[in-house]
Amino acid sequence: MTQLGVHNPAKVIGYSVLLFFLGLLLSSYSARNPETAQFGNRIVSEVVTPVQSLVDVIDRTISEVFADYFWLVDVKRANIELRARLSALEAENSRLLEYEGENERLRVLMQLANESKVEGVAANIIGYDPSNWVQSITIDKGFEDGVNRGMSVIEGKGVVGHVISSSRKSARVLLVSDHASAIDSIIQRTRSRGILEGLGGRLARLNYVLEKEDVEIGDRIITSGLDGIYPKGLFLGIVSDIDPPARRLFHRIEIQPAVEFLKLENVFVITSKAGIKALEDEVSVERVVEKEKGK
Amino acid sequence: MEGFILYLLAGLAGLIIQGSVLKVILPFNAVPNLVLILVVFLAFYRNRLDGPFFAFMLGLEYDLFGSHLLLGPNASAAVVVYFVVTSFSKRLFVESSFTLAMVVLVASFLNHAIASVITSQFIPTESLWSVLLRYSPFEAIVSAIVAPLVFKYLKKFLVRADQGRTHDQAWSK
């Protein structure tokens, strides 16, 4: 085994203890002053974003090349004579399919923007949190594009999360599925309120819904708009499991989020209060229509 | 100073690979903790007085890079991991891939436990522990599997660069 230097146990212990407590001190300070962590994050983002964007471009290109390669293998098996002609067509086709998919996703996002007069920006995902137990993404839009801390991020199907820090050209989004995420929510059918908390991965939990309240598997959960971050009425997910009643005060409800976080490629950041108001008005109209239908 | 920058750059590269490449490629969010592997490497191959400081800075880099709401939990955890591993480093045959994988496995659990205990003191969330129990074993196992390969490359670049510099300094004196 290679040992490069001289080992001095007493000094190493001393330094280690000192640095350990420095870490604790820093944690305590950053807990009281969240802007410290955000400032640090912003500096790192400024340095890392160009590299992340480059890696993202390379990643997409490699995916395309791989897709093209597999198409080629299929064509070779089918007919040697047509291989040369088909390979070009398949490569083109694969690329166009990719563009079509991206187009479709962007159209859904833009349509949402047009229909509800929501002002916002569409963004690409360029990175994920390196750890496995923190659920967050990095998007390629920052405060230069009007993306700031506290703004809500959605996808065609529902809520993705909210912006927790923003640098010049990128921003970090805390996903709904993160354990630190808590969203004031409503069960759409019964209007019972609860707090949606992330469980990591693909699940979330709806807390503080009284056990006397009526909840069924398949019920839709939407945002209440009371937390000051998310507009009212955005789709969060559906009830996937409920623990049987056990004389508790609250239900134990498991939620399947509306968005498949691992398959996300583009998102939409709501950048204006007007946009939030427009969405809320739309939801109010929907509720009136629903009530009328009920009558 | 050069060594310090070299390790910081290696840590940054590890974080970018973890967050931008491996998260997209690997299924089930099972991504190895490359910074932790670097800290373990440091404990074996940079058994110097500046070792704890290097480990601290790598942990801090992890805190800064991730969207963690706190700065410090991973820095403190990295120092403890460095100290524990370096205490046993002379008794372990690190050239054995199995031993190395086991060391990284234990180090990963230790790192998670310390970082989580510190985090939970400042940001109390109900589901932190269930999230941790779900992902910690995955990350530890994947980190242990890739550690021998990562060590091979780190030895190639970092130790060689370190030795080269020591050699140059000796000659210049």
Total-model pTM: 0.69
> Residues 43..62 of A with a Cβ closer than 8 Å to B: which?
43-44, 47-48, 51-52, 55-56, 59
Q: Which amino acid is at B154?
A: L
Q: What is the H or E stretch that residue B13 is in?
A: helix B2-16
Average pLDDT (A28-38) is 82
Residue A290: its pLDDT value, please?
55
| Residue A3 contacts B, CB cutoff 8 Å | yes
3-state secondary structure of A234: coil
Residue B71 has its nearest CB partner, among A3, A37, A179, at: A37
| Residue A88 contacts B, CB cutoff 8 Å | no
Number of other residues whose CB lies within 10 A of the CB of residue A110: 14
What values do phi and psi take at A119, rounded to 5? -90, 135
Q: What's the whole-number average pLDDT of chain B?
A: 82
B167 chain-A contacts, CB cut-off 8 A = none
User: What are the tens digits of pLDDT across the range B34-91?
Assistant: 999 999 998 888 777 888 999 999 999 898 887 557 888 999 999 999 999 988 887 7
Average pLDDT (B141-156) is 89
Residue A95: its pLDDT value, please?
60
| Residue A23 contacts B, CB cutoff 8 Å | yes
| Residue A262 contacts B, CB cutoff 8 Å | yes
- DSSP result, A4-63: -S---HHHHHHHHHHHHHHHHHHHHHHHH-HHHHHHHHHHHHHHHHHHHHHHHHHHHHHH
> Residues 124..153 of B with a Cβ closer than 8 Å to A: which?
125-128, 130-132, 134-136, 138-139
Share of chain B above pLDDT 70, in %: 85
Residue B37: its pLDDT value, please?
94
Q: How far is CA A142 from CA A59, A170, B59, in A?
A: 22, 4, 26
Answer whether B75 sits within 8 Å of A59, measured CB to CB.
no
Partner residues linked to A197 by β-bridges: A182, A205
Q: Which amino acid is at A253?
A: I
Residue A285: its pLDDT value, please?
47
| Residue A37 contacts B, CB cutoff 8 Å | yes
3-state secondary structure of A159: strand
Q: Which has more confidence, A274 or A59?
A: A59
B34 chain-A contacts, CB cut-off 8 A = 130
| Residue A263 contacts B, CB cutoff 8 Å | no
Reduced DSSP (H G I as helix, E B as strand, rest coil) percent helix, strand, coil of chain B, to 5: 85, 0, 15
Q: How far is CA B30 from CA A55, A133, B37, B135, B140, in A?
A: 20, 10, 15, 8, 9
Closest B-chain CA to A202:
B28
Q: How far is CA A253 from CA A198, A226, B126, B127, in A?
A: 12, 20, 14, 13
pLDDT exceeds 60 at position B143: yes
| Residue A166 contacts B, CB cutoff 8 Å | no
Residue B172: its pLDDT value, please?
47
Residue B56: its pLDDT value, please?
94
> Residues 206..225 of A with a Cβ closer than 8 Å to B: which?
207
The b-or-e profile of B58-69 (16+ CB within 10 A means b, else e) is bbbbbbbbbbbb
Rg (CA), chain A: 24
Residues listed for chain B: 173
Are A74 and A89 in contact by the 8 Å Cβ rule? The answer is: no
The confidence band for A98, taking pLDDT boundaries of 50, 70 and 90, is low
Q: Where are the domains of chain B?
A: 4-162
User: What are the tens digits of pLDDT across the range A262-295?
Assistant: 778 788 898 875 555 555 555 554 554 455 555 4
| Residue A19 contacts B, CB cutoff 8 Å | yes
Distance CA A271, CA A101 (A): 25
Answer whether B75 sits within 8 Å of A22, measured CB to CB.
yes
Average pLDDT (A178-185) is 86
> Residues 68..97 of B with a Cβ closer than 8 Å to A: which?
68-73, 75-77, 79-80, 82-83, 86, 89-90, 92-95
| Residue A177 contacts B, CB cutoff 8 Å | no
Average pLDDT (B141-158) is 88
ipTM: 0.83
Class of the CATH-defined domain B4-162: mainly alpha
